[in-house]
């Protein structure tokens, strides 16, 4: 078999969770709290992955899929653009 069976061949595909709008990305609800999700965290479609602040209003960003956080692409309190990748989730 050519090309099959290499490292990661059996891994589920990843899904990019993108910013729904421009604004400030927050990984945690408050500086004193742990992040909503970390690499390795299991998520369901309604799991909160982050908060956004736009014009003094806060919006939750749900994972929107089932799986495990594979990567976090943005630092806490970083300004992001609409459509920017925030996390990747490996499907279950």
Q: Which two tokens stand for residue 74?
A: 């943005």
**Confidence band (pLDDT; 50, 70, 90) for 20?**
confident
pLDDT in tens, 25-71: 999 999 999 999 999 999 999 999 999 999 999 999 999 999 999 99
Which of the 8 DSSP states describes residue 3?
A: S
Which of the 8 DSSP states describes residue 30?
A: S
Question: In order of start, what are the domains of the chain with their CATH numbers?
Answer: 14-91 (2.40.50.100)
pLDDT at position 3 is: 44
pLDDT at position 10 is: 58
**Confidence band (pLDDT; 50, 70, 90) for 12?**
confident
Residue 25 host element (H or E): strand 23-26
Q: Residue 76 above 90 pLDDT?
A: yes
Q: pTM for the full model? A: 0.81
Q: Which of 53, 52, 59 is CA-nearest to residue 86?
A: 52
Q: How far apart are the first and last CA of the chain?
A: 25
């Amino acid at each position: 078999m050519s090309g099959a069976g290499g490292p990661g061949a059996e891994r589920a595909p990843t899904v990019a969770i993108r910013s729904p709008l421009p604004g400030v990305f927050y990984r945690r609800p408050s500086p004193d709290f742990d992040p909503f999700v970390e690499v390795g965290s299991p998520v369901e479609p309604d799991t909160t992955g982050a908060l956004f602040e736009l014009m003094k209003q806060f919006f939750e960003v749900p994972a929107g899929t089932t799986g495990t956080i594979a990567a976090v692409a943005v630092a806490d309190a970083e300004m992001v653009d609409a459509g920017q990748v925030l996390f990747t989730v490996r499907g279950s």
